Structure 1
Amino acid sequence: MMAPLIPVLRDFGMTAETGFLPAEVPPATLLNPYYEKWETILANLPAIIGDHRIRVVVDELPVLSTAHLRTCAEWRRAYVLLAFMSHAYIWGGTIPSERIPRQLAVPLLEVCEYLEVPPVATYSALCLWNFQPTTPAESTDHLEEMTTLVTFTGTADEKWFYLISVAIERAGAPVIPLMLEAIVAHYAGDLSTVATALHTFTKILDRITAILLRMYERCRPYVFYNHIRRFIAGSKNMAGAGLPNGVIYDIGLGSEEYRQYGGGSNAQSSLFHFFDIVLGVEHHPTDTTRPRDNFVHEMRSYMPGPHHRFLEDVSKIANIHEFLTSCRSDGRLSAPYSACVSALANLRNKHIHLVTRYIVIQSHKSRTLLGAERLLTSQTTSGTIIRSISPNNNPENEGLHGTAGSSMMPF
């Protein structure tokens, strides 16, 4: 069987070492003094938000041009700055703003067109392009050796929340070349190489799960839910929060229409989509009237364009599940495949536990703390947790949405 054309990572701005993280460490500032006003606001963003001055400060800005951005790293930095300012502008008042002013909207839309991302604070703005090692010699292998560049609150909790995702991306990066090689091995009939890759994949998934569980060390559920989460939210399905129509990106035409975008979410991580693709995992909505995988595929539109295209190319050649089916009687492959899928299921289960503690319990704490705690402790598998806290079984969860705009627990 002829091997397919395997995607070349560098063609998508990726490397075998860093995966979907940038190969070069994101810059801490835009060095061109032309952008000093943006950088000054971001350096003082928590204080400006805390003093309820964000809209006044932004309204006094000039409309800066993107013509002075040179490198891709600078465009990404500009995107981080503008996305954070835009979300702060929307959510930083006593009521949300339905309008993003020209000072932000004009350059934001230009930057997003260049980077092929929507004009909202995506996972890329919050995590992928928003970190640095604490010293130039250090790597992104250890959480304690990194810092977050921009936050809304200035809290250690918010910095840690983003860094967990950065560490997961770095830990999972080796899976990408590993499983691309496994796909090639399938076409050569090399069962041993595929099995070895699945064994390694399983170990990496276990490590990622351990990193995820470190969220509890420095990000307090109360702080996340009450002080951080609202700023990450987008403008989609936010009627209950005061944005029934979405937001207007005011570029000065006077005829702009409302737009709705989901906010930043780990569902926008290309790494987790890659895991599903190479293992042949499919997602089915609890609402059987909705098409399969529609939320999952929607989240790919929030990824940088090159990452989205990489996943599309991998989807065309992914064959590990097909290989398993063709040699199901051979335990050399079925056993490591089952172990790998079980490790992925365990990761998802731990994530549901985390969502329960940080969002579901916090949202009901004042009314139903005891009942919510039982949701976390009485069930142990991801399927039963979803059923036990779905809106169908707990009316208090109706209207509870994730930052990306999805209905929380059915997803």
Structure 2
Amino acid sequence: MQALDAYDMSAERGFLCQFNAGDISLTGDLATVGDVALSLPSLLPTGRVRALLRDRLPDIDIAAVLQSCGDAEARMAMVHYSFMVQAYVWGEANPPEVLPRCLSAPIVALADHLGQQPLLAYSGYVLDNWAEVERGQGLTLDNTRMIQQFLGGQDEAWFVLIHVAIEAAAGGALARMPKVVEATAAEDIGAIRTLLEEIAQVWEGINGIFDRMPERCDPYIYFARVRPYIHGWKDNPAMPHGLLYEGVERFGTQGRAFRGQTGSQSSIVPSMDALLGVGHAHDPMKAYLDELHIYRPPAHRRFIEDLRAQSGLRSFVERCGDPGLTEAYNANIKAVADFRSRHLEYAASYINRQTRAATGNDTEVGTGGTPFMRYLKKHRDETRERLLPVREKQRA
């Protein structure tokens, strides 16, 4: 496998952006775009956010802008535009059929440039949407802030910042994965066991962060004030014909459907699945999981794909039969299963048990457009089923 930076990753930040997003200053028309986007908490409560966005957004030459700006600037522009697209679609009572040119042309051009999809994805919601409160003090919950918001407030920020903290914490596990692949190829049992024990320890911290979600994100507030804006328009009954991207020639005159932002677009758990050899049964839920792969940044997709292709960990652990190695392997299986159990519990309390509040905000369907309870339970159970039997230690 390649070095972590080739996958736009690091041990300190994991899959989070490797630049300091809070330091990126957009210039020219993009500066105006950023100002309009950052005013969404003031625009959305008016109930006429669509007219306000159409009036205030400049008609920019996005092709020229992309020729002159760097990767960090393009990604921050994507954060701002993707939030405005979501606000335009879901910020009033009934979703529109058409996305106006002032939003459609830039979001499609930015998505093409970055190798992503033209709406809000996890990368724009979480990975590129944070800043340190005090520089150099660590990416922890007490030292990060959310840059771009919809309505604003503690619950919205905390929901995103929990994910930011998890992504940062996961860097320590992700950095060890190529080393596990290398040690497995060398059949170095001791090195593999040590690395797996260290990865499992990292997961204790990840699950500890995830446990803190209820501290400052209330289930009702999440469902009624945070979740409505992150839905997509694929498999969403509120938008049966998708969304027409005005002026985007290659899309023609037909509506296009894309899946909404979801934590399942994070690359952490798929990386663990790839390392550990955890597969999922072929059914509609597996197809959905595979489809989410294109919503990840291209470099992160390559990391997962390289792990899938090169990790022979599970077969080696089975073949080797070393009890200590098997226990270390199983500790990681249990850690991922525990994470999926927490996700399932939150999905039940934050979504499934809530009352339907608005068009498109269904208690039975996830923001990605699937029956999420069944999906989450299935993958939790399939993870648990991958535990390996531990052979008895031979007596000396």
Q: What TM-score do the two structures reach when normalised by structure 1?
A: 0.85
Instruction: Report deviation, 1:256.
Output: 2.5
Please list the CA deviations of residues 191-221 of structure 1 after superposition, one character each: whole Å capped at 9, or x if unmatched. 0111111111111111111101111010010
Structure 1: how far apart are the matches of 2:303 and 2:164?
19
Aligned residue identity for 2:307: V
* SS state at 2:324 partner: helix
- Show CA shifts across 1:221-242 (max 9, x none): 0001011111000101111xx2
Matched, 1:315 2:308: yes
Question: Displacement of 1:363 after TM fit?
Answer: 3.4
Q: Could you say which residue in structure 2 is the equivalent of 1:206?
A: 204
- Could you say if the C-alpha distance between residues 51 and 406 of structure 1 is closer, same or farther in structure 2, counting changes exceeding 3 Å? same
* Corresponding residue of 1:176: 174
| 1:408 paired to 2:362 | no
Aligned CA RMSD, in angstroms, stands at 2.0
Equivalent residues of 2:38, 2:80 under 8 A apart = no
Report Cα offsets for 1:169-205 as digits up to 9, x if no partner. Answer: 1101111221211111111111011111111111111
Partner of 1:138: 137
User: 1:350 is matched with which residue?
Assistant: 342
Residue 187 to residue 33, structure 1, CA distance change in 2 (3 Å): same
Q: Distance in 2 between matches of 1:20 and 1:281?
A: 21
Identity among equivalent pairs (%): 30
Match of 1:243 in 2: 239
Question: Match for 2:46 among 44, 48, 51?
Answer: 51
* 1:38-77 correspondence to structure 2 within 5 Å: 38-60=33-55, 61-66=57-62, 67-69=64-66, 70-77=69-76
Whole-angstrom distance in 2 between the partners of 1:177 and 1:167: 16
Structure 1 counterpart of 2:20: 25
2:380 equivalent in structure 1: none
- State the distance in 2 between where 1:308 and 1:332 align: 32
SS at match of 2:155: helix
Checking the alignment, whether the CA contact within 8 Å between 2:166 and 2:209 is kept in structure 1 is yes
Q: Report what 1:382 is aligned to.
A: none
Structure 2 counterpart SS, 1:97: coil
Amino acid at match of 2:229: F
Corresponding residue SS for 1:264: coil
Residues 125 and 282 (structure 1 numbering): CA distance in 2 closer, same or farther, change over 3 Å? same
Question: Is 1:260 the equivalent of 2:257?
Answer: yes
Distance 1:12 1:252, change over 3 A: closer
Look up the match of 1:336.
328
Q: Equivalent residue of 2:244, what SS?
A: strand
Asked if structure 1 preserves the Cα contact closer than 8 Å seen for 2:353 and 2:363, the reply is: no
Normalized against structure 2, the TM-score is what? 0.88
Q: What is the rounded CA distance, in whole Å, between the counterparts of 1:49 and 1:57 in structure 2? A: 9
What are the within-5 Å matches in structure 2 for residues 108-147 of structure 1? Answer: 108-140=107-139, 142-147=140-145
Q: Within 1, Cα distance between the matches of 2:356 and 2:285?
A: 30
- Residues of 1 paired with 2:16 and 2:31: CA distance? 26
Equivalents in 1 of 2:192, 2:317: separation in Å? 10
Partner amino acid for 2:260?
Answer: G
Confirm whether residue 294 of structure 1 aligns to residue 287 of structure 2: yes
Per-residue Cα deviation, 1:128-176 (whole angstroms, up to 9, x for no partner):
0000001223321x10100000111111101110111110011011112
Amino acid at match of 1:401: V
Deviation at residue 29 of structure 1 after TM alignment: 5.5
Task: Write the deviation string for residues 264-306 of structure 1: whole angstroms up to 9, x where unpaired.
Answer: 1111011111011101111236xxxx26732221111100112
2:152 corresponds to = 154
Task: Quickly say closer, same or farther: Cα 1:33–1:258, change in 2 above 3 A.
Answer: same
CA distance in 2, matches of 1:68, 1:27: 20
Residue 389 of structure 2 corresponds to none
**Structure 1 unpaired stretches of 5+:** 1-5, 366-397
| Offset from partner CA, 1:239-278 (integer Å, 9 cap, x none) | 1xx2111111112659421111111111101111101110
Q: What is the match of residue 228 of structure 1?
A: 226
1:105 correspondence with 2:108 = no
Secondary structure class of the residue paired with 2:65? coil
Check whether the contact 2:351–2:363 (CA below 8 A) recurs between aligned residues: no
In structure 2, what is the equivalent of residue 392 of structure 1? none
Other structure's SS at 2:19 match:
coil
Shift of the alpha carbon at 1:319? 1.2
Q: Which of 185, 188, 192 is 2:186 aligned to?
A: 188
SS state at 1:258 partner: coil
Query: Which amino acid counterpart does residue 300 of structure 1 have in structure 2?
Result: H
Q: Does 1:35 align with 2:30?
A: yes
Opposite residue 135 of structure 1, the aligned amino acid is E
Size of the alignment, in residue pairs?
367
Structure 2 regions of 5+ residues with no counterpart?
376-396
Q: What's 2:276 paired with?
A: 279
- Structure 1 ranges of 4+ moved more than 6 A: none
CA distance in 2, matches of 1:292, 1:34: 42
